[in-house]
Amino acid sequence: MTSALHLNAVVLPGSEPTDLWIVDGVVTHEPVAGAETLVTGAFVLPGLVDAHCHIGLGVEGGVDDDTARAQAAADVAVGVMLVRDCGVPRDTRFLAEERNAPRIVHAGRHVARSRRYIRHAAAEVEPEGLVEEVRRQARAGDGWVKLVGDWIDRSVGDLAPSFPAEVVREAIAVAHDEGARVTAHCFGEQSVAEIIEAGVDCIEHGTGLDDEHIAMMAERQVALVPTLINLANFPVYAQQGAAKFPRYSAHMLDLHARRHETIGKAVEAGVPVYSGTDAGTVIKHGRTIDEIEELARVGGVEFALGAASWRARTWLGADNLSEGASADLVVYADDPRRDLSTLHRPTHRILRGVLLTDD
């Protein structure tokens, strides 16, 4: 047994200071004799969440164990303690045993159309193989399947849905039968519309959302993880395709130009929006605070903090420092609601009840 810790702090989203104790990895609100007082008058966030992250993925596909460890540590360093993996080509479950790695909700491999995604990243199938592949990935993951809903189709020179809508509908139903939720990468208008209508549970990026489908998401409480810091790269993707695929390039620039408006409308409509960085290939690990700052631009500071902490944790089935919950939390001297830059200066990070150090 490790020695018990005591904290006196405002636990967000609350506003009154409370006392909590940490013993044997879990939180209790009952005083523990002999506990060491770590802080008084502090502010605590339930461990941050990266709801779209790829620990174990690099630009060349799956990375080795040490690289995956370093990616995980970079996320933990900024206070991320829960990750929804959004597809990796290798098994990263060894990280569950490691001190400096967040909890990970695994999604198996991305499921993409053959030759229509980043090379070496996805399980690639043709439409006739989609349903079986989704079933396989549903069984491999922790309750999530990741579909690549659209990508550039070189034969049309623009974004296009990866799979026919009817096959996607059947695949989503199979995932649900297997007890898994389905999320889909969607940049353009057509794929996001078809996939929402097909009963998906979550949308990644969502730049092609129109008012009608935003309303549908709000009504069905379909989640949205926009990954705003990745959307900021659309001009780079547009530039890469400009010479050979001018339609695609112009399309990406248009989606980029209206991204804050589109995501802002979803927030306004009551779509549950969560913080995700898309770290893994283009985006480096450890950028969650940048994403929170971007989310604050579209929905305000309290919204952005909830999207990266307590609301996202509830969505993913994690506790928020209730009695007996795993002690996964970040401590700050000041209230991050007053100044988001406080997030860059945690005084303590505690994961599974263990006080982390930077070494």
In the complex, least distance from residue 136 CB atom to Zn ion, rounded to whole angstroms:
20
In the complex, least distance from residue 160 CB atom to Zn ion, rounded to whole angstroms:
19
Site for Zn ion, residues 53 to 112, rule: CB under 5 A: 86
| Nearest to Zn ion of 92, 326 (CB atom) | 92
| Nearest to Zn ion of 86, 298 (CB atom) | 86
Q: Token match 């860059």: residue?
A: 344
Q: Strand, coil or helix: what is 68? A: helix
* Residue 306 phi, psi dihedral angles, 5° rounding: -65, -35
x-or-dash string of contact with Zn ion, 106-145, rule CB under 5 A: ----------------------------------------
Q: Token match 């519309």: residue?
A: 193
Size of the site for Zn ion (CB under 5 A): 2
Report CA-CA distances (Å) from 178 to 171, 174, 203: 11, 6, 19
In the complex, least distance from residue 88 CB atom to Zn ion, rounded to whole angstroms:
10
| Nearest to Zn ion of 117, 332 (CB atom) | 117
| Nearest to Zn ion of 86, 289 (CB atom) | 86
* Residue 152 phi, psi dihedral angles, 5° rounding: -65, 135
Q: CB-based contacts of 350: which residues, under 8 Å, 6+ apart?
A: 5, 22, 327, 328, 329, 330, 331, 356
Site for Zn ion, residues 164 to 223, rule: CB under 5 A: none
In the complex, least distance from residue 54 CB atom to Zn ion, rounded to whole angstroms:
6
Based on the shown chain and the rule CB under 5 A, indicate whether residue 278 belongs to the binding site for Zn ion. Answer: yes
Q: Strand, coil or helix: what is 257? A: helix
| Nearest to Zn ion of 48, 86 (CB atom) | 86
| Nearest to Zn ion of 59, 333 (CB atom) | 59
In the complex, least distance from residue 195 CB atom to Zn ion, rounded to whole angstroms:
16
In the complex, least distance from residue 107 CB atom to Zn ion, rounded to whole angstroms:
10
> Taking the CA of residue 210 as centre, how many other CA atoms within 13 Å lie in the half-sphere pointing to its CB?
8
Residue whose beta carbon is closest to Zn ion: 278
Angle ∠(52,336,292) on CA atoms, nearest 5: 25
Whether the CB-CB separation of 203 and 192 falls below 8 Å is answered with yes
Q: Which residues of the shown chain bind Zn ion in the complex (CB under 5 A)?
A: 86, 278
